[in-house]
């Protein structure tokens, strides 16, 4: 699995995941022009785009993506909020009454959506497996994740803030309590990421991609060192 970071953070998220026979975009939260440029105008190489939720930093280019003929996969709630429910290129992940999603085959990739905890309608995250025993977990814009996932080989995980940095910013009046609570209830902290890493089997894990760091409430060096120390794996801050 080849992973390329096109953009990461609150200003926009977009990641390219390439396997032996399929290329996906995860999120399209920058302008279509920027995506085209970053992909060197080889849009035809993209088989599909997967979107976790309707926030602009994840879905800004959705209408242009659809218009250009790329299938965009998302939850029903996300499609509703993005007003793309009726587009013929929109693909909906369906779930049962218990919010267990129906798995989807996209070319030779097996995609399993899982529920996120975020302030939009029906946010999801993804487990993506290929035929070469690679398994990617893509986890972003979620306060926490209750799932345990076996055999992850590639982990892309949000680490939006560090609790002590956020608390200090609140104390110094750099952010207000409303914003502080919004961050805490919708995004993953370094402490939550560490808890998740400790709870999961990482024996097959090759690399960790840390995404969506906040400009003001995070600490890149600390995040990298801590995650490396706990997992002993290679860590890339996106
Ligand atoms: Zn976001
Ligand atoms: Zn969001």
pLDDT interval class at 38 (50, 70, 90): very high
- How far away, in angstroms, is 118 Cα from ligand 1 center? 10
What is the predicted pLDDT for the residue at 174?
A: 95
Asked if the model's pLDDT at residue 115 lies above 90, the reply is: yes
Q: Where are the domains of the chain?
A: 2-237
Q: How many other C-beta atoms can be found within 10 angstroms of the C-beta atom of residue 191? A: 14
pLDDT interval class at 177 (50, 70, 90): very high
- How far away, in angstroms, is 132 Cα from ligand 1 center? 30
What is the predicted pLDDT for the residue at 22?
A: 96
- How far away, in angstroms, is 22 Cα from ligand 2 center? 26
Tens digits of residue pLDDT in 148-171: 999 999 999 999 999 999 999 999
Q: How many other C-beta atoms can be found within 10 angstroms of the C-beta atom of residue 9? A: 16
Closest listed ligand to the CA of 158? 1
Asked if the model's pLDDT at residue 110 lies above 90, the reply is: yes
Average pLDDT, the chain: 96
In CATH terms, is domain 2-237 a member of 3.40.50.2020? no
pLDDT interval class at 98 (50, 70, 90): confident
Tokens (6 digits) for 123: 């946010």
Tens digits of residue pLDDT in 188-203: 999 999 999 999 999 9
Is the pTM above the cut of 0.85? yes
Question: Are the beta carbons of 138 and 26 closer than 8 angstroms?
Answer: yes
- How far away, in angstroms, is 97 Cα from ligand 2 center? 24
Question: Are the beta carbons of 159 and 142 closer than 8 angstroms?
Answer: no
Asked if the model's pLDDT at residue 99 lies above 90, the reply is: no
Closest listed ligand to the CA of 58? 1
Tokens (6 digits) for 119: 């302030």
pLDDT interval class at 183 (50, 70, 90): very high
Closest listed ligand to the CA of 142? 2
Average pLDDT over residues 130-143: 97
What is the predicted pLDDT for the residue at 202?
A: 95
Whole-angstrom Cα distance, residue 158 to residue 75?
A: 20
Average pLDDT over residues 159-185: 96
To 5 degrees, how large is the angle CA 209–CA 210–CA 215? Answer: 145
Q: What percent of the chain has pLDDT over 90?
A: 97
What is the predicted pLDDT for the residue at 192?
A: 97
- How far away, in angstroms, is 64 Cα from ligand 1 center? 19
Residues that place a CB less than 5 A from ion ligand 2: 55, 141
Contacts of 48 (CB under 8 A, 6+ apart): 24, 25, 70, 71, 72, 73, 91, 106, 107
- How far away, in angstroms, is 204 Cα from ligand 1 center? 28
What is the predicted pLDDT for the residue at 112?
A: 97
What is the predicted pLDDT for the residue at 207?
A: 97
Residue with tokens 């709630």: 77
- How far away, in angstroms, is 40 Cα from ligand 1 center? 25
């Amino acid at each position: 699995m080849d992973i390329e970071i096109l953009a990461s953070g609150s200003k926009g998220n977009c990641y390219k995941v390439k396997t032996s026979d399929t290329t996906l975009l995860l999120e399209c939260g920058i302008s279509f022009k920027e995506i085209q440029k970053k992909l060197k105008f080889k849009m035809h190489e993209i088989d599909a785009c997967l979107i976790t939720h309707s926030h602009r930093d994840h879905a800004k280019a959705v209408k242009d993506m659809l218009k250009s003929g790329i299938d965009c996969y998302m939850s029903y709630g996300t499609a509703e909020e993005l007003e793309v429910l009726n587009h013929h290129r929109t693909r909906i992940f369906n779930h049962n009454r218990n919010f267990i999603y129906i798995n989807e085959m996209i070319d030779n990739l097996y995609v399993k959506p899982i529920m996120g905890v975020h302030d939009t309608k029906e946010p999801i995250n993804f487990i993506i497996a290929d035929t070469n025993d690679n398994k990617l977990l893509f986890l972003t814009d979620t306060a926490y994740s209750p799932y345990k996932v076996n055999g992850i080989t590639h982990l892309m995980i949000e680490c939006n803030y560090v609790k002590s940095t956020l608390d200090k910013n609140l104390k110094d009046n750099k952010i207000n309590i409303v914003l502080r609570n919004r961050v805490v209830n919708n995004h993953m902290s370094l402490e939550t990421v560490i808890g998740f890493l400790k709870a999961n089997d990482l024996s097959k894990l090759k690399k960790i991609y840390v995404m969506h760091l906040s400009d003001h409430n995070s600490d890149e060096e600390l995040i990298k060192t801590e995650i490396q120390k706990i997992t002993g794996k290679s860590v890339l801050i996106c």
